[in-house]
Amino acid sequence: MNNNISDKDKKDWQKFINSNEKLPNKDSKNKKQNIIKTKSIDLHGCTLEEANVEIKKFIISCYNNSVKKLIVVTGKGLHSNNLSNPYKSKDLSILKYSVPEFIKNDPQLMNIIINITEANIEDGGSGSFYIYLTKKK
Q: pLDDT tens for residues 15-64?
A: 888 887 777 776 666 655 667 889 999 998 888 889 999 999 999 999 99
In 3-state terms the chain splits into helix, strand, coil percentages (rounded to 5) of: 40, 15, 40
In a domain, 9, yes or no: no
Q: For 63-67, what is the mean pLDDT?
A: 94
In a domain, 24, yes or no: no
In a domain, 90, yes or no: yes
The pLDDT-based confidence of 90 (bands split at 50, 70, 90) is very low
- CATH number of the CATH domain containing 110: 3.30.1370.110
Are 114 and 132 a contacting pair, CB within 8 Å? Answer: yes
- CA distances (Å), origin 4, targets 1, 8, 10, 15, 69: 9, 12, 10, 19, 59
In a domain, 33, yes or no: no
Would you say residue 89 has pLDDT above 50? Answer: no
Cβ–Cβ contacts within 10 Å for residue 16, how many? 10
* Residues near 126 by beta carbon (within 8 Å), at least 6 away in sequence: 76, 96, 118
Q: DSSP code of 23?
A: -
In a domain, 27, yes or no: no
Q: For 68-92, what is the mean pLDDT?
A: 64
Are 55 and 77 a contacting pair, CB within 8 Å? Answer: no
In a domain, 66, yes or no: yes
Residue 45: which region, alpha, beta or left (left: phi > 0; alpha: psi -120 to 50)? Answer: left
In a domain, 20, yes or no: no
Are 77 and 94 a contacting pair, CB within 8 Å? Answer: yes
Number of domains comprising the chain: 1
pLDDT score of 86: 44
In a domain, 11, yes or no: no
Residue 66: which region, alpha, beta or left (left: phi > 0; alpha: psi -120 to 50)? Answer: left
Domain that holds residue 96: 38-133
